[in-house]
């Protein structure tokens, strides 16, 4: 068997339209052939992965097929979050320029996640996810730079996460997507969002660390 017949987990998930979490579950159950590299990464047999799908399966739905776009999801999520509970005081107190930058990062994040869900290949999916992580890092840095606590930053992101998933689920129900494909869509979204959270935290911590370093450098001379 040639090396081209073995796929990474993201290449395999993009090929058949299921989430990485679904492939892991199939692999753990022994339903799909895979092996683990010395570095601990799974590789999936292309033919076996394709053979797991029912012949009549339509695959994971795209956002366009659900009547959604990245902008529509971002707009609705922002309105729904605003209408649920008040924002943390530290976020409400952001200066207008900081608020715009914070919101722009959020829009970039949504667009990257939407692109991830619609990616035609594993390589493109990874590129989109990397863009989402960069947007999250920048959002974390902006929050820290303007005095927003890490708890408030992550808390707001988790509220976005809930609204994002709710919007996808509602669109899938409205379009009559079957349970298998709707679950695959939501699992893919959850997998991507959960990989972005550490980037948000890292950006916040990096900014805090950068602001502390000058004081640390001055401290010996002050003794």
User: How do residues 84-114 score in pLDDT, each as one tens digit?
Assistant: 656 677 877 888 888 889 888 988 998 898 8
Q: Into how many domains does the chain fold?
A: 2
Tell me if 34 is assigned to some domain: yes
Strand partners, 44: 7, 34
Q: The domain spanning residue 21 has which CATH number?
A: 1.10.1660.10
149-202 pLDDT per residue, tens:
999 999 888 888 888 898 899 999 998 888 878 888 888 888 888 889 999 999
Tell me, yes or no, whether 123 and 206 share the same domain.
yes
Beta carbons of 122 and 15 less than 8 angstroms apart: yes
Beta carbons of 18 and 60 less than 8 angstroms apart: yes
Tell me, yes or no, whether 36 and 73 share the same domain.
no
pTM to 2 decimal places:
0.68
pLDDT, residue 36, reads 86
Tell me, yes or no, whether 111 and 196 share the same domain.
yes
Domain containing 163: what range? Answer: 64-215
Tell me, yes or no, whether 44 and 91 share the same domain.
no
Looking up tokens 């799908």 gives: 53
Diameter of the chain by CA atoms? 75
């Amino acid at each position: 068997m040639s090396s081209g017949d073995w796929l990474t987990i993201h290449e395999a998930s993009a090929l058949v339209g299921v989430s990485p979490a679904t492939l892991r579950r199939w692999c753990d159950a022994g339903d799909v052939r895979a092996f683990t590299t010395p570095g601990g990464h799974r590789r999936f047999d292309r033919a076996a992965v394709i053979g797991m799908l029912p012949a009549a399966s339509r695959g994971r739905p795209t956002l366009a097929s659900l009547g959604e776009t990245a902008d529509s999801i971002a707009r609705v999520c922002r309105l729904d979050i605003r209408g649920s509970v008040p924002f943390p005081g530290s976020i409400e107190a952001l200066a207008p320029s900081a608020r715009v930058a914070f919101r722009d990062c959020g829009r970039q994040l949504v667009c990257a996640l939407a692109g991830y869900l619609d990616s035609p290949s594993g390589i493109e999916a990874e590129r989109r996810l990397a863009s989402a992580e960069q947007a999250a890092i920048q959002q974390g840095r902006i929050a820290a730079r303007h005095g927003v606590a890490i708890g408030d930053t992550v808390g707001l992101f988790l509220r976005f996460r809930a609204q994002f998933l709710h919007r996808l689920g509602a669109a899938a129900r409205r379009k009559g997507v079957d349970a298998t494909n709707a679950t695959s869509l939501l699992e893919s979204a959850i997998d991507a969002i959960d990989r972005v959270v550490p980037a948000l935290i890292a950006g916040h911590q990096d900014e805090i660390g950068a602001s502390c370093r000058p004081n640390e450098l001055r401290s010996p001379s002050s003794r």
